[in-house]
């Protein structure tokens, strides 16, 4: 359907505002429970990404209607088995269901190649280094090191910066039609012999940032990554009663991560990787929300649209 | 609690009559569906055994209250991934939850050692050969070859034969008290200088037999194994409309296995390994039950007590 111009514009704006969809596929930590599956978060940001892929992820994708056939990339935070055992079954299903599955990139800490028992041509395994791992024309995924006693990473999914025109000023200076494209390509346009620079009539607006912690202690790199993020999806494996155990095992407490979220001006904190010891997890939510109001407890199947 | 003698006897008889419990943990084939998990059947026969262990088995055990901490042995029918990917997570959970987990034996076709990415001291991997693989004082597990285009096995869980006394005759010949133990140990007792042989006053009663097919075409070894079995748990991956595909892919049709069950005088046929193409599987049940009445369609969580 080809919409007339103004409607097309509106349609694109609407699309833009609903561009990121986060589905919590598994929200348990270390071991599953009847209520919570193993860690995995699906984020649709123009393309479909998985952040961690614990055992049973393919079935959770089927259950929560996240099209497992179109996963573009999987980001594995670290090589503890609860975070990657679902890859095998997912790859096998893709292999069985199509003679030529779409290519998938798996970004994982060094050493994952030796753990991949089913190698298929459509799978590309890339060892994680800090920095940009993947990008499409609207989003980038960055990796940053975290503190989990092993080669462990968190990830930032960042919407690329977008140029916003001061339309009133641009029109008053005579910009119209194709000049908007020209000024973006060249950095300036000339109208009536007067050079108008791109920065005079527009500015770069920072894109939204979603941060996924993996397993980690509260640490400075996480605080930096989380700064001003739209959403911080963070492990909350322990309550503050078990602060020492959390430190020893390189995990966060709900209280600790709430303090970080507050300091880093995170807009929304989502607690996940809930240990089965906490049954419904309400104790974790309670202690986090005493420090920081905008916090939710992830549940399997929970969806956030941004 | 020490029960008085007659009650103890009754109690043991009751226990004996409820001795085999079969729980269908996952009843899908090849790929999971929201309704059906990956193949695994738990059978409690004095000890707890798993027959196949597809992805997600540990969570199914938690959901259906089968104590995953006490699995004694796992029998893997063949090395297609849908039949063994759940082993990794189960072993990891046992390792995490206890400093010294109970020993587990994994019986699998040769080559499984190379696929086991998490080796733990409490795990013993044994390559399957036809014949008796495992026994306790009441049950034996046998392996038999099936026809699945690879090194593939079915399994027979067989209750050991039990000696049944003709109590009336035994008493009339003067047997009482400890003589019953003596005659079983020596094969005879002497009463008033008269030798009474064990076979005169008792007979061996065949134990119950439960057969699990793994993935296979209908074949003679399966028909032999299934003969007079109490329960045949068999794959029914295809309906007879897809008979050619079933042959090509080395699977059964529901019709084919119903014919075998009828010929082999199986007491109860359970259809499992249901392809997600059949949604609720009723078409498979329908075509099997036209040939053979005593058939049920397995569902995740279904329990049979024998």
The Cα of B114 is separated from the nearest Cα of chain A by a number of Å equal to 9
Chain A residues whose C-beta is within 8 A of a chain B C-beta are 30-34, 37-38, 55-56, 58-59, 62-63, 81-82, 85-86, 88-89, 92-93, 96-97, 115, 117-118
Q: Which domain-ending residue is among B172, B203, B234? A: B203
Interface test with A, best of B33, B38, B59 (most A CBs within 10 A): B59
- Pair (B57, B77) in one structural domain: yes
User: What average pLDDT score do residues B230-242 get?
Assistant: 97
Would you state the structure tokens that stand for residue B111, as one six-digit string?
């080559």
- Pair (A182, A143) in one structural domain: no
* pTM attached to this predicted model: 0.90
- Pair (A15, A104) in one structural domain: yes
Query: Which pLDDT value is given to residue B15?
Result: 44
pLDDT bucket at B1, cuts 50 / 70 / 90: very low
Q: In this model, does residue B247 exceed pLDDT 90?
A: yes
CA–CA–CA angle B276, B282, B283 (5° rounding):
85
Do the chains contact at B117 and A115, CB–CB below 8 Å?
A: yes
pLDDT bucket at A8, cuts 50 / 70 / 90: very low
Number of domains observed in the structure of chain B:
2
**CA dist., res. B169 & res. A139, Å (int):** 87
- Pair (B137, B173) in one structural domain: no
DSSP string of A126-150, one letter each residue = EE--SEEEEE-SSEEEEEEE--SSS
- Pair (B222, B247) in one structural domain: yes
Would you state the structure tokens that stand for residue A40, as one six-digit string?
């995995």
Query: Which pLDDT value is given to residue B19?
Result: 86
B192 annotated active-site: no
Query: Which pLDDT value is given to residue B162?
Result: 87
Q: Which of A56, A88, A97 sits opposite B81 (nearest CB)?
A: A88
Q: Which of B31, B96, B117 sits opposite A96 (nearest CB)?
A: B31
Q: The domain that contains A12 carries what CATH number?
A: 3.60.15.10
Give bridge partners of residue B125 from the DSSP assignment: B106
pLDDT tens digits, A67-103: 999 999 999 999 999 999 999 999 999 999 999 999 9
- Pair (A168, A150) in one structural domain: no
Q: Is A13 exposed, middle or buried (0-12, 13-18, 19+ CB in 10 A)?
A: exposed
pLDDT bucket at B196, cuts 50 / 70 / 90: very high
- Pair (B105, B167) in one structural domain: no
Closest CA in chain A for residue B66: A34
Q: Which domain-ending residue is among A140, A175, A203? A: A203
Instruction: Note down the domain range covering A78.
Output: 5-161+206-305
- Pair (B72, B216) in one structural domain: yes
- Pair (A199, A245) in one structural domain: no
Distance of CA A109 to the CA centre of its chain: 17
pLDDT tens digits, B69-100: 999 999 999 999 999 999 999 999 999 999 99
- Pair (B55, B136) in one structural domain: yes
Q: In this model, does residue A199 exceed pLDDT 80?
A: yes
Query: Which pLDDT value is given to residue A149?
Result: 95
Q: Which of B110-114, B202-206, B238-242 has the lowest mean pLDDT?
A: B202-206
- Pair (A60, A148) in one structural domain: yes
pLDDT bucket at A11, cuts 50 / 70 / 90: very low
pLDDT tens digits, B285-294: 999 999 999 9
The answer to whether B120 and B95 are in contact (CB under 8 A) is yes
Q: In this model, does residue B207 exceed pLDDT 80?
A: yes
CA–CA–CA angle B142, B160, B79 (5° rounding):
15
Do the chains contact at B89 and A96, CB–CB below 8 Å?
A: no
Do the chains contact at B86 and A30, CB–CB below 8 Å?
A: no
Q: In this model, does residue B10 exceed pLDDT 80?
A: no
**CA dist., res. B257 & res. B271, Å (int):** 9
- Pair (B137, B224) in one structural domain: yes
Exposure pattern of A191-201 as b/e (b: 16+ CB <10 Å)? eeeeebebeeb
């Amino acid at each position: 359907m080809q919409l007339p111009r103004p409607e097309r514009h509106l349609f694109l704006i609407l699309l833009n505002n609903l561009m990121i969809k986060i589905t919590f596929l598994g929200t348990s930590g270390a071991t599953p429970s009847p209520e919570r599956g193993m860690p995995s978060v699906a984020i649709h940001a123009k393309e479909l990404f998985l952040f961690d892929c614990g055992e049973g992820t393919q079935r959770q994708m089927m259950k929560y209607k996240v099209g497992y056939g179109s996963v573009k990339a999987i980001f594995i935070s670290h090589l503890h088995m609860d975070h990657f055992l679902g890859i095998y079954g997912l790859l096998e299903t893709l292999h069985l269901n199509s003679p030529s599955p779409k290519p998938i990139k798996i970004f994982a800490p060094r050493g994952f190649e030796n753990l991949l028992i089913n190698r298929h041509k459509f799978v590309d395994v890339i060892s994680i280094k800090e920095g940009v791992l993947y990008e499409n024309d609207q989003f980038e995924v960055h990796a940053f090191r975290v503190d989990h006693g092993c080669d462990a990473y968190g990830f930032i999914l960042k919407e690329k910066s977008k140029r916003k025109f001061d339309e009133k000023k641009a029109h008053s200076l005579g910009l119209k039609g194709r000049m908007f494209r020209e000024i973006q390509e060249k950095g300036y346009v000339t109208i009536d012999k007067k050079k108008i620079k791109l920065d005079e009539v527009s500015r770069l607006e920072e894109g939204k940032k979603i941060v996924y912690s993996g397993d980690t202690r509260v640490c400075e790199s996480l605080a930096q990554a989380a700064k001003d993020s739209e959403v911080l999806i963070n492990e909350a494996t322990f309550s503050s009663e078990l602060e020492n155990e959390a430190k020893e095992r390189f995990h966060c407490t709900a209280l600790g991560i709430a303090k970080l979220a507050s300091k880093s001006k995170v807009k929304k904190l989502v607690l996940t990787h809930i240990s089965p010891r906490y049954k419904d997890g309400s104790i974790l939510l309670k202690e986090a929300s005493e420090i920081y109001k905008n916090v939710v407890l992830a549940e399997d199947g929970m969806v956030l649209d941004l």
